[in-house]
Amino acid sequence: ATTLAGAAQESGRYYGTAVAAGRLSDSTYVGILNREFDMVTAENEMKLDATEPNQNQFTFTNADRIVNHAIGQGKRVRGHTLAWHSQQPGWMQRMEGSALRQAMLNHITRVATYYRGKIYAWDVVNEAFEDGSSGARRNSNLQRTGNDWIEAAFRAARSADPGAKLCYNDYNTDNWSHAKTQAVYRMVQDFKSRGVPIDCVGFQAHFNSGNPVPSNYHTTLQNFANLGVDVQITELDIEGSGTTQADQYRGVTQACLAVTRCTGITVWGIRDTDSWRASGTPLLFDGSGNKKPAYHAVLAALGGT
C-alpha cells in the first residue's frame, strides 16, 4: 500500500485525521485528506458549543459538511465529543446540578440520535480526570452533578445509537505509571465489572519534549485492551522535526500494531499549518503538503511503501 489508510487496512486498522470544516475549500488539504485517510474526526464542529449554541436549538451545518464529505468519500467518522467540561456553550457553563445533568443527557440523546448509524465511535466523555498525582476526577460543573455523571452519559449514548462504539477519551494517559492513567484504568475496570456500556478508550497522544512518548506505551495500550475494550490513538501529534520526530511517530505506530485491540490511529490535523499548536511542526505533512520524514516512518511501520 502507498497511503496511510491503505497500509493501516492491511492489518484491519484505520488511519484518521482531524478535519476542520473551514478547510474543506482548500484543494491541497482535501487532496491529502481524500488520498491518505479513512477515518475523520471533526476538530471542533461536533462539540457542545457548536451543536447546541442555545439550549435545545441544535445546529449541525458545519458538522454535516465534515460527515457528508467523509461518508461521500467512503470514510468513517469518529464523533468528538458529547460531554466535556470545555467548549460548552455559555448557557451550559452557567448551569449546575440536576438542571445541568438533564441538559447533558438531552444533548447526548439529541446529537447521538441525529447521527445514529453514521458514527464508528463516539468520544462520549472527554478529559474528565485531573492532571498530576491525585488520580482524582477533574472538578467541573459536570462532575459536580454527581460522580455517576460519566456512566449516565454512556448509558444515554448507548440508548441513542446502539451501533456506535462508545469511548472514554483523555490526554496524559499514555504513561502507565502516571496516576491519571491508573485512575482512568480503574474507572474502565469498574465500568466493565458493572456492565456500564463502554467499548473503547481513546488516547489523545499530544506529545512534546515535556510529555514525550513513554517507553511503556505498549504496556499501557495492552493493559487497557486486557480489560475488554478497544483502544485507539485519537489525537496524535508530536512536536519536533526530522529523524527525531520520525522515530517517535514510528514508536507510536509500532505500539498500536503490537496490540490486537488497538484498532486505529488518528492524527490531529493534516499539515503543520493546520495544527492547533500555534507554532511548531507536529504533524506528518509540512505547510505545503509535502510528506515529512515522520510520514515515511509511519507508512513504513504500517507495512506500506
The residues of the shown chain that bind ligand G3I, judged by CB under 6 A, are 43-44, 86-87, 171, 204, 235, 276
- Contact present, 48 and 54 (Cβ < 8 Å): no
Q: How far is the CB of 270 from ligand G3I (least distance, A)?
A: 12
All three cell numbers of 68: 457528508
Which residues does 226 contact at the CB level (< 8 Å), separation at least 6? Answer: none
235 included as an active-site residue: yes
Q: How many Å apart are CA 67 and CA 79, to the nearest integer?
A: 9
Nearer to ligand G3I, 7 or 168 (CB): 168
Nearer to ligand G3I, 277 or 296 (CB): 277
Q: Which residue's CB atom is positioned nearest to ligand G3I?
A: 276
Nearer to ligand G3I, 168 or 171 (CB): 171
Q: How far is the CB of 277 from ligand G3I (least distance, A)?
A: 8
Give the count of beta carbons closer than 10 Å to the beta carbon of residue 24. 16
Give the count of beta carbons closer than 10 Å to the beta carbon of residue 36. 23
Q: How far is the CB of 42 from ligand G3I (least distance, A)?
A: 9
Nearer to ligand G3I, 34 or 87 (CB): 87
- Contact present, 71 and 77 (Cβ < 8 Å): yes
* Nearest-10 Cα torsion for 296, 297, 302, 305: 40
Q: How many Å apart are CA 10 and CA 118, to the nearest integer?
A: 23
Q: How far is the CB of 236 from ligand G3I (least distance, A)?
A: 11
Q: How far is the CB of 63 from ligand G3I (least distance, A)?
A: 13
Selected catalytic residue, list 36, 43, 52, 235: 235
Nearer to ligand G3I, 36 or 170 (CB): 170
Selected catalytic residue, list 127, 130, 151, 239: 127
Q: How many Å apart are CA 72 and CA 146, to the nearest integer?
A: 41
CA distances from 20 to 47, 63, 101, 189 (A): 12, 9, 29, 34
Active site residues: 127, 235
